[in-house]
Amino acid sequence: MTDRHFSCIVIGVSAGGLKALISIFKGISADFPAPIVVVQHEKADSGDLLSSILNSKSALSVKTAEEKEILKGGVVYICPADYHLLVEEDKTLSLSAEPKVNFSRPSIDVLFETAAIAYGDELIAVILTGASSDGSIGLVEVMERGGYSIVQDPATAYSRYMPEAALQACPDVNEILPLEEIHSRLISLCVKGSLK
């Protein structure tokens, strides 16, 4: 296949997400060139706990996303609880307290759809374990705009509902991978810049 350049990764995850995210981030070095933006469904009062835990388990810099923040490589941006996280066309982040989308705030769909507009075919979208269908509509948008799609193999998910819903909505995803292979695939796509 022809070489492609990927400028951003978005990840959507829900039930079982902490273990899944640790599995991915612990295998990625601090000099990773692309920013990673994560929506994890959390309780409204969860604070910065997820960011703190992940930051202690990863060489990447993991932080809670802030309004108007400029996306930088090697940084993981975690959506704060009870806000939607959007990627603006100027590659900055925006927070919104608009009503729930697909029964969720934050909504994976909102992140994926806005990132797809901002990055087009330079975006990688990843759907991991979860107990809702949030993310499926956004993944369709990512693919329609030429982005690259990875869905966790439901057999390796703590909760298989979210990846199964994504596969039902997008049967032609680029890759279905077991959890333990996702970090190495992201490295091969972003660091080496080629699809194998």
The Cα–Cα gap between 156 and 124 comes to 20
73-130 pLDDT per residue, tens = 999 999 998 899 999 999 999 999 888 887 788 999 999 999 999 999 999 999 999 9
Beta bridge partners of 63: 77
User: May I ask the CATH class of domain 8-190?
Assistant: alpha beta
The residues annotated as belonging to the active site are 14, 41, 134
42-82 pLDDT per residue, tens = 766 565 788 888 999 999 999 999 999 999 999 999 999 88
Lookup result for tokens 């070489």: 3
Q: Is 135 left (phi over 0), alpha (psi -120 to 50) or beta?
A: left
pLDDT attached to residue 59: 93
pLDDT attached to residue 1: 42
Q: What is the mean pLDDT of residues 27-46?
A: 87
Is the predicted pLDDT of residue 6 greater than 90, yes or no? Answer: yes
pLDDT attached to residue 41: 83
> Using an 8 Å Cβ cutoff, are 140 and 169 in contact?
yes
> Using an 8 Å Cβ cutoff, are 177 and 185 in contact?
yes
